[in-house]
Amino acid sequence: MGARWKRGVFLGLVLAVVGLAVSARPAAAGVHDVDTPALEFLLAGGGVFLLDVRTPGEYARGHIEGAVLIPMNRVPSRLGEIPRDGKVVVVCATGARSAAVARYLDDQGYPWVANYVDGVVGWYRKGLPLAR
Catalytic residues: 92
H-only helix segments in 1-132: 3-24, 36-45, 56-61, 96-107, 119-125
Rounded Cα distance between 98 and 33, Å, is 10
Residue 9's CB: how many other CB atoms inside 10 A? 11
- Residue 42 main-chain phi, psi, to 5 deg: -65, -45
Edge-first strand order for the sheet with 113-116 is 31-34, 113-116, 87-91, 48-52, 68-69
Sign of CA dihedral 93, 99, 100, 104: positive
